[in-house]
């Protein structure tokens, strides 16, 4: 039996990168999948490629009315999710910087999308799950929120550290309601989000040299742990950070 048979998942940022890879894997594990992304064309394309087990919804995670509408529409159509992956985010290369050099508008934009957007996704996921039989919420973290890896990305690092803290707080608050909350911490993963690094051989080599297994991560590297956390195999796992980083945070 597929591990996610009978489940419905909503994945934010599923139009590309890690979000798309996870959504496609969930569908292969027999989950129904809501492809949530602010890019309508990308969301529709991914949903179409998956087929009848997927549907697309346009969501701006920094706008609560947009997030709330997505969950309300899903419930009205019988697609209320019991798995939510809060994955959408930004990393503003060329704008994020060391603290003394960081523009306030860049800080605010990053926090609004990465941290506030994740909070809003979690908030409405919890509300949906309280109305049913609980579920699993999975957040996407980063080594930058755990170590000094993101010293040149103050806003991004702070937003991810906030996500790690949010995981523990919400997990503790709703554990007795059958709602599990965990964070997956990938290493440097090559997607369109980090093309500034991947397209620069020197920068890429520098960051890969800090990953003990000796290579960059791929979206596919994250799929397995996401499936585990979404499944009943992880029923006793909540409030935890799961590093899938090639040993990067072990240094």
Any idea what the CATH number is for the domain that residue 176 is in?
3.40.50.720
What stretch of H or E contains 71?
helix 64-76
Widest Cα–Cα separation across the chain: 54
User: What pLDDT, in 10s, does the model give residues 151-179?
Assistant: 899 999 999 999 999 999 999 999 999 99
Q: How far apart are CA 168 and CA 163, in angstroms?
A: 9
Q: Which of 156, 174, 188, 242 is catalytic?
A: 156
Task: Tell me whether residue 138 is in a domain.
Answer: yes
Task: Tell me whether residue 113 is in a domain.
Answer: yes
Confidence of residue 1 (pLDDT cuts 50, 70, 90): low
User: Could you tell me if 27 and 93 are in contact, meaning their C-beta atoms sit under 8 angstroms apart?
Assistant: no
Q: In which residue are the tokens 């998956």 written?
A: 50
Could you give the 3-state DSSP secondary structure of residue 208? helix
Confidence of residue 23 (pLDDT cuts 50, 70, 90): very high
Task: Tell me whether residue 2 is in a domain.
Answer: no
User: What pLDDT, in 10s, does the model give residues 100-128?
Assistant: 999 999 999 999 999 999 999 999 999 99
Residue 208: predicted pLDDT: 82
Could you give the 3-state DSSP secondary structure of residue 42? helix
Residue 191: predicted pLDDT: 74
Task: Tell me whether residue 14 is in a domain.
Answer: yes
Q: Is the pLDDT of residue 188 over 80?
A: no
The average confidence (pLDDT) of the chain is 94
Whether 174 sits among the annotated catalytic residues: the reply is no
What is the domain count for the chain?
A: 1
Task: Tell me whether residue 104 is in a domain.
Answer: yes
Task: Tell me whether residue 23 is in a domain.
Answer: yes
Q: In which residue are the tokens 């949010």 written?
A: 166
Give the global pTM.
Answer: 0.94
Q: Which domain, by its residues, includes 82?
A: 8-246
Q: How far apart are CA 124 and CA 205, in angstroms?
A: 40
Task: Tell me whether residue 251 is in a domain.
Answer: no
Confidence of residue 149 (pLDDT cuts 50, 70, 90): confident
Task: Tell me whether residue 86 is in a domain.
Answer: yes
Q: How far apart are CA 136 and CA 226, in angstroms?
A: 10
């Amino acid at each position: 039996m597929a591990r996610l048979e009978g489940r419905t998942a909503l994945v934010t940022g599923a139009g590309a990168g890690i979000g798309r890879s996870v959504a496609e894997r969930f569908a292969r594990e027999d989950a129904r999948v809501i492809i949530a992304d602010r890019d309508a064309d990308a969301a529709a394309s991914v949903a179409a490629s998956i087929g009848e087990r997927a549907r697309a919804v346009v969501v701006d995670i920094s706008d609560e009315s947009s997030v709330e509408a997505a969950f309300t529409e899903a419930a009205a159509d019988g697609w209320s999710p019991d798995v939510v992956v809060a994955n959408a985010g930004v990393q503003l290369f060329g704008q994020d910087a060391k603290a003394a050099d960081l523009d306030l508008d860049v800080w605010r934009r990053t926090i609004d999308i990465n941290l506030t957007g994740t909070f809003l996704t979690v908030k409405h996921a919890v509300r949906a799950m309280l109305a049913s039989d609980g579920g699993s919420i999975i957040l996407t973290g980063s080594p930058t929120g755990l170590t000094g890896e993101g010293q040149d990305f103050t806003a991004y690092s702070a937003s991810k550290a906030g996500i790690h803290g949010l995981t523990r707080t919400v997990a503790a608050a709703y554990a007795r309601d059958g709602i599990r909350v965990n964070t997956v911490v990938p290493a440097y993963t090559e997607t369109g989000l980090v093309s500034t690094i991947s397209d620069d051989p020197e920068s890429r080599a520098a960051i890969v040299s800090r990953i003990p297994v000796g290579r960059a991560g791929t979206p596919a590297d994250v799929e397995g742990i996401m499936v585990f956390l979404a499944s009943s195999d992880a029923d006793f796992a909540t409030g935890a950070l799961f590093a899938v980083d090639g040993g990067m945070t072990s240094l």
